Amino acid sequence: MIRVEVAYALPHDQKIIALQVEEDCSAYDVVIRSGIVETYPEIDPETIPMGIFGKAIRNPKDTIMKEGQRVELYRPLIADPKEARAKRAAKMKAKKDAE
């Protein structure tokens, strides 16, 4: 048995569930066994993007977990990061030009 975690965060709430699973357990299996879908029914383990410590995984059903790893479930982005960065840069330029 190994100890792993599942993490999911919303703007107003977050949940980290620790559990013990068999050594050959996949990231997908860990999410199912964690029961996180009962707390957050909007999670669809078949389609939600997943990662391990910030690194996206392409095939959660084929990614075998290791001791101490954490599966993270990712929500869709509200804003495009490139667009947000461009807006911040334009704002800073306008501020600098005004001085």
**Could you give the domains of the chain?**
2-98 (3.10.20.30)
pLDDT given at position 79: 67
Contact 6, 71 (CB under 8 A): yes
Q: Please give the structure tokens belonging to residue 54.
A: 């910030």
Average pLDDT, the chain: 90
Nearest to 25 by CA among 61, 68, 74, 72: 61
> How far from each other are the two terminal CA atoms of the chain, in whole angstroms?
62
Contact 71, 31 (CB under 8 A): yes
Tell me the whole-structure pTM to 2 decimals.
Answer: 0.75
Q: 21-59: per-residue pLDDT in tens?
A: 999 999 999 999 999 999 999 999 999 999 999 999 999
